[in-house]
Amino acid sequence: MDAERIIGVIVFVAVVAAFFYDRIFGWRALGVAEVAYGIWAIRVRRIPYGWEGQPPAGYFTGGAAVFVGLLAVALGLLFVIFPRVIDDALSNT
């Protein structure tokens, strides 16, 4: 397995464990993971897109990749700062 896949599995397991611990903590952990992805996207400036399990159909590069990274950081910060609002909006209880 390549490093990106291993890191993805570790982050997935950590976020799932955070949700098992506490839902609000889980939303915050998901936000931190999203912020980290956004920072990675801004740094790499090459984001693949396409169907899962298939080779990428193409890549967002340059300014488009930075824009997607900034959106990811903004979304992640919303999850970190307002986890109760996110929980209320996305839960059915």
pLDDT of residue 90: 85
Q: Which pair of tokens denotes residue 24?
A: 């609000």
Taking the whole predicted model, whether its pTM rises above 0.75 is answered as yes
Those residues whose C-beta lies under 8 Å from the C-beta of residue 75, and which sit 6 or more positions away, are 31, 34, 38
Counting beta carbons within 10 angstroms of the beta carbon of residue 83, is it exposed (0 to 12), middle (13 to 18) or buried (19 or more)? buried
Q: From the first residue on, what is the mean pLDDT of each consecutive set of 10 residues in the chain (93 residues)?
A: 85 95 94 95 92 90 94 96 92 74
- Cα separation, 63 vs 3, whole angstroms: 25
pLDDT of residue 68: 94
Q: Are 45 and 34 in contact (CB under 8 A)?
A: no
